[in-house]
Amino acid sequence: MAKIIFPVSHSPGLRASEGAGRLYNCYAEPLGEGARAVAVRHRSPGLTNFGTTTREGCRGFLEVAGVLYVGFETKLEKFTSSGGASTNVGNLNGTKKGFFARNNATTPDKWFVDPDGNIAVFTPTTVTNSWPDADLPAVNSTCSINGYGVFTTGDGKAFATGLNSTSVDALSFGTAQAKPDGLYRCIEWAGRLYLFGTQTTEIWTDQGLSPFPFARSDVMPRGLAGPYCVTGHEDSFTKGLHIVADDNAVYRIDGNAPIKISPPDLDALIEAVADKTTIEMCSYISRGHAFIQVKCAAWTWTFNINNGKWHERPSYLIVNSRITQTYYAFGKWLCGDDLTGNVQQITSASHKEIDNPLVCEVWSAPLQDFPRRSRGISAFFDFAVGVGDAAGEDPIATDPGVEISYSTDGGQTFSIPRIRKLGRQSIGTARIRVNQIKAAGPQGYIWKVRMSDPVHFGLMGGEMTGEPRAA
């Protein structure tokens, strides 16, 4: 009897035969002392609908005084806490994703900036696609800190408004001068102002100076790969800054130090993206797990801060995730949707993405005794069983099954999947077992477990019996 090693982190390798297993749309959650396995693989949180629009291309969110503002291509929409159909506020110039901010005035000023230099201020009923003070030059990002609005320019300047005001003194700016790398983005985190260039990040603090209130306190020797390559600073996330950096790696910012968290497989994928401005990051929390998503047109990888492990998150029939531009409002993690113009809620209560299946797939590490060949006899899989939902869709929820297949050529091809039932609600099953296994060559076996049925997924481990054969 040999253990089938299922991964706790996504490790595809340049080839499956040199990888250590794969996790798609599921993550490893450690089990407690005395459990029958070290970890269980659970399905990633699904999506349910929060609000609907007739728009497309979500550009960002801002909630103020119980009103949720959402930017779309050329339009600004708003929602109440109950969601439903949106109400149009006005036209919003541009189509790129951007950055919302507000100040702390009694009636807060609210604004939007995108990397193309489009800027707008808005109220609950109007949008003005310009800034009230002509002393503010063309800018490419914005944030707010301590009641000041802050804006960056591509030539490395950061401008600040007056306190809780839209007025801008033409001399109220600082220049990021550690390197002549311009500025992509500004954010506020833990009371400090981070100014991200293409090679460096400067950290400034509020010193109450005039006319520009901030002074530089530190410099990090890492910049951003693109304007959307930072997350973790959003309200209600509070798990720390994470960036895709100029060296094609993902980092956690620990104090003022960047700590690399991406494996070589992901580094290579980032390196291969020709236009780094198409890479975007976002954050959300589900069941206490804090997730960082890194996404481009060709893939989506997700980092679980709780256990420091990765998995991939492709949506149904596409190669990347439909989730974009996450935001916490009304006690919910909301997001834009690349497949619709709607606003969705990220929740572990759903085992689907709206009407589409959220397909879990786990590949084992190669099981072999190189260079000897082997013949499998039986394989057993340890699942949470009796997980059917009597009130769910029949038969995929009431009598759910899982597909199990194997590869004997290093993951190039897989056998015809065997479907095994996981049991109706609260009814256990016999052991999940696969017999009549084809003999393997020196590559051994790679096992694949796949489940699309919309019920609880809990894979803990597996074992295989077999016998060696002549090399």
Give the CB-side neighbour count of residue 60, counting CA atoms within 13 A. 23
Residue 384 has pLDDT above 70, yes or no: yes
Residue 429 has pLDDT above 90, yes or no: no
Residue 469 has pLDDT above 70, yes or no: no
pLDDT at 145 (0 to 100): 98
* Residue 338 CA, distance from chain mean position: 13
Extract the tokens encoding 265: 């497989």
> How far does the chain reach from its first CA to its final CA, in angstroms?
20
Q: Contact 359/25 with Cβ under 8 angstroms?
A: yes
Amino acid at 209: L
Give the mean pLDDT of 363-376.
Answer: 78
Among 329, 342, 289, CA closest to 313: 289
pLDDT at 375 (0 to 100): 76
Extract the tokens encoding 3: 């253990």
Instruction: Determine the Cα–Cα distance for residues 406 and 414; give it in Å rounded to an integer.
Output: 5
Question: Among residues of the chain, what percentage have pLDDT more than 70?
Answer: 98
pLDDT at 84 (0 to 100): 98
Instruction: Report pLDDT digits (tens) over 96-120.
Output: 999 999 999 999 999 999 999 999 9
Confidence of residue 373 (pLDDT cuts 50, 70, 90): low
Give the mean pLDDT of 36-43.
Answer: 95
pLDDT at 368 (0 to 100): 79
Query: What Rg value do the Cα atoms of the chain yield, rounded?
Result: 25
Instruction: Determine the Cα–Cα distance for residues 98 and 115; give it in Å rounded to an integer.
Output: 7
pTM over 0.75: yes
pLDDT at 147 (0 to 100): 98
Among 17, 161, 184, CA closest to 101: 161
Extract the tokens encoding 169: 């003194």
Lowest pLDDT segment from 205-209, 355-359, 424-428: 424-428
Length of the chain: 471
Extract the tokens encoding 219: 């410099």
Give the mean pLDDT of 159-182.
Answer: 97
pLDDT at 443 (0 to 100): 86
Residue 333 has pLDDT above 60, yes or no: yes
pLDDT at 471 (0 to 100): 58
Give the CB-side neighbour count of residue 350, counting CA atoms within 13 A. 17
What is the overall mean pLDDT for the chain?
95
φ/ψ of 448, rounded to 5, equals -120, 125
Amino acid at 333: W
Give the mean pLDDT of 139-145.
Answer: 98
Instruction: Report pLDDT digits (tens) over 277-318.
Output: 999 999 999 999 999 999 999 999 999 999 999 999 999 999
Residue 254 has pLDDT above 80, yes or no: yes
Q: What is the phi-psi region of residue 325: left when phi exceeds 0, alpha when psi lies from -120 to 50, beta otherwise?
A: left
Q: Which domains does the chain have, with CATH numbers?
A: 2-44+360-469 (2.60.120.260), 46-350 (2.130.10.10)
Amino acid at 360: C
3-state secondary structure of 89: strand
φ/ψ of 150, rounded to 5, equals -120, 140
Amino acid at 80: T
> Interior CA angle at 261 toward 255 and 267, to 5°?
130
